[in-house]
Structure 1
């Protein structure tokens, strides 16, 4: 039998019709790849909101947003008389709530539209407002203290609820001489409030119902003030009691929301005005400052599973702005190196390794480190005490980028869009 002869290249060439079809198919495929690439590049990044004020003109103050690339800077809110509080994003990233002069509450859309004053507070001594979005993204709760705890007249502590377009409604109020000696702490979903009254820990629903006393009155009277912090899973409450005077002691208690005491320990304390305890994202650990000699601190971690605490830092220092990464793997904080330099550090909890992210940035002051939602980047403020700029950096210390280049400005409270 005669073997078939191999075909020549001319014999295997596509016909003009087939070649045209193949060309169109390849062209379509190339266009599709380009389209996917363009779409991937055009996916909007999470914005960073921050406040900015002029050191030369107090009336030049506003809230801005900017991309972590440094592009698309927008002025969301222009000059309003009074200092701005930290912008607070709703969980869906569509709206921002903020305070003005610690008296008024505003809400604005993420693009700067629909700015509205939602609450106008009366003037009082030492006012303070704390905001908390509810998980439905429609309601905003806020606590308000008036006249403080050091005033010569009894102050008051209350909370309000803004529901959609309805006027702000006062839900609950108590004079400070009626035994309340703590902050009002909102749960992560904004649906419950906790506080210390007459040395007992309480919780209550955001609508004012369901008041529950979680612990009996404390028998130790040396503690003058308490701070309350909910765990992210809303199942536990940390209570920090502070002793004033020479005692300088803080007692930390972890209480379940059914009243069961999970852990309690004491450590050398610091001034109660400094926020000094944060929860891990999985609600199984807390990190806090431990006072050492010469008013320096160390950072400690307490594990609820093992019921043990350990030092995370090797030597005492001026640590501040302690914050946990959303993935739970790292802590970030600032450390005063010397009078002319502050550094931003991260601590890898798996390997217990410290890293100075800002060795190349010789800044007198670094403040407000804030993690991106994916834990890959940190934004922070760096500069001098009277003027600064906004920066972003990768968690491994690479990619340092200055986002703003303003002169004579003071930037504060950068927060990532959820």
Structure 2
């Protein structure tokens, strides 16, 4: 087999990026679809050969090539779709044509690697300024020897832009091998404490990089929820001891009041089609669930009970809503039709079950469960109540809270006091891969995982 270059790849695309936004077309998925949600799914062995700057070795020193490889490694490992294989790297130079010869690909085959990926980064002058360029390639060791290539062009030249490009390459690899885009380009909204009586909504990359504040002021802004198109967040804002629900356009910062101030307006949740907002309100005296039509402004009361009903979460098809209620004496998870009918209790094990989050795949509902001797942990249960799995464990004095699913339904973020202060954590749905995303001495809470871009 002869070496091949980027321009000779069988599948190639160019993506122009400006300010982190996508322009151009995505590649079509190959007709290679792996059932990645199967319990017996085996991750795809992949070797990250390295990334060079056009002249240097791909992993020289602690330079930019090493950083690219590490970002990609983390993305692929977190996805659970790939197993990153470490093979010894000889002295390897990229030629001007960016060709990769037989030697490293032969080493990959002998090492049991299915996919080998590499690339290089550079800069290019233009009439509007310098542009960052990332060229990424992959070679599949299968019988057909399928090659995949992508060239990303963007500005300004910055670490954020570079990370965006690497995340897109990771998602492209996931898409190519599963038919479903990855999660590396997603974000997490959350709440950060900034002083007594002051909390604001922030957003960060899914891996904890680049936090930025979205709200400001010396008040409480809590419980962010993403719109299905990822363009807006709804959240509860405290105004003179009352709460209103506000919609924030993420790009422009424009705010729109959705629910006027009253004694209690909390836990907003957009419907999957973006037309409705479910939320809890005490406007009628008791804390009940309401449905707001975002197009007409009409409001419909869904529950009518003397107990407290809150924390609605939609099924992926929009036909049902799971929520927390203490109508049985203790907080438990219930499910009802989206119009408020056909209410049924879902959880029966344990005296405290709350804060449900319905998986985008529809197969599980994650929630906070009280476990004897372990305090408040995360569990997941099937919507028919037939199967229950404990996800997290810990000490009695710790508390895990506010689970939120990744768009692919394979991972969760949540807040936890397991480190003393409340921080945001990442975990696989099977309970492995626990990783803290936030740092510092503040309290962080209410994470909400965004849809894909």
With the length of structure 2 as denominator, give the TM-score of the two structures: 0.49
State the match for 2:444 in structure 1. 411
Q: How many residues of Structure 1 are paired with residues of Structure 2 in the alignment?
A: 286
Q: Which secondary structure does the structure 2 equivalent of 1:42 belong to?
A: helix
2:410 is equivalent to residue 346 of structure 1: no
Contact 1:300–1:312 (Cα < 8 Å) also in 2: yes
Map of 1:281 onto structure 2: 316
Q: Given that residues 394 and 400 in structure 1 are in contact (C-alpha distance below 8 angstroms), is that contact kept between their aligned partners in structure 2?
A: yes
Instruction: Give the drift of 1:24.
Output: 7.0
Alignment partner of 1:30: what SS? coil
Question: In the alignment, which of 272, 288, 304 is matched to residue 241 of structure 1?
Answer: 304
Deviation for aligned residue 1:77: 5.1
- Give the corresponding residue for 1:229: 291
Can you list the C-alpha shifts for 1:279-300, whole angstroms capped at 9, x where unaligned? 322133343456576x324434
Displacement after TM superposition at 1:404 (Å): 2.1
Aligned positions of 1:10-409 closer than 5 A: 30=100, 34=118, 35-37=136-138, 41-43=166-168, 44-54=184-194, 57-58=195-196, 62-70=200-208, 72-76=209-213, 80-89=217-226, 91-93=228-230, 102-103=238-239, 124=240, 126-132=241-247, 141-146=256-261, 148=263, 226-229=288-291, 239-243=302-306, 270-271=307-308, 274-275=309-310, 277-289=312-324, 291=326, 295-302=329-336, 311-338=345-372, 341-349=375-383, 352-360=386-394, 364-383=398-417, 387-407=421-441, 409=442
- In the alignment, the residues of structure 1 paired with residue 236 and residue 254 of structure 2 have an alpha-carbon distance, to the nearest angstrom, of 16
User: d(CA) in 1 for partners of 2:426 and 2:301?
Assistant: 31
**TM-score scaled by length of structure 1:** 0.53
C-alpha distance in 1, partners of 2:410/2:190? 19
Task: Classify 1:30/1:23 alpha carbon distance in 2 versus 1 (closer, same or farther; 3 Å).
Answer: closer
**CA-atom RMSD in angstroms:** 5.0
Kindly state the Cα deviation for residue 74 of structure 1 after the two structures are TM-superposed: 2.3
Secondary structure, aligned partner of 2:100? helix
Residues 33 and 187 of structure 1: is their aligned pair in 2 closer, same or farther, counting only changes over 3 Å? closer
Q: Please name the residue that 2:43 is paired with.
A: none
Paired residues of 2:225 and 2:268 also in contact (CA < 8 A): no
Q: Between Structure 1 and Structure 2, whose CA radius of gyration is higher?
A: 1
Q: In the TM superposition, what whole-angstrom CA distance separates every residue of 1:221-259 from its partner, at most 9, and x where no partner exists?
A: xx9675323699x9x96710123xxxxxxxxxxxxxxxx
- Measure how far apart 1:391 and its partner are: 0.4
Q: Is 1:63–1:76's contact at 8 Å kept on the other side of the alignment?
A: yes
Q: Which runs of 5+ in 1 are unaligned?
A: 1-18, 104-123, 150-156, 158-181, 201-222, 244-269
In structure 2, the CA distance between the partners of 1:183 and 1:82, relative to structure 1 (3 Å rule), is closer
Question: Aligned pair in 2 of structure 1 residues 238, 339: CA closer, same or farther (>3 Å)?
Answer: farther
Q: Deviations over 1:111-150 (max 9, x none)?
A: xxxxxxxxxxxxx5x321113469x99986423444639x
Q: Is the 8 A contact 2:411 2:429 kept in 1?
A: yes
Q: Distance in 1 between matches of 2:220 and 2:447?
A: 15
Q: Tell me, in whole angstroms, the C-alpha distance in 1 between the residues paired with 2:361 and 2:196.
A: 39
Q: Distance in 1 between matches of 2:220 and 2:395?
A: 29
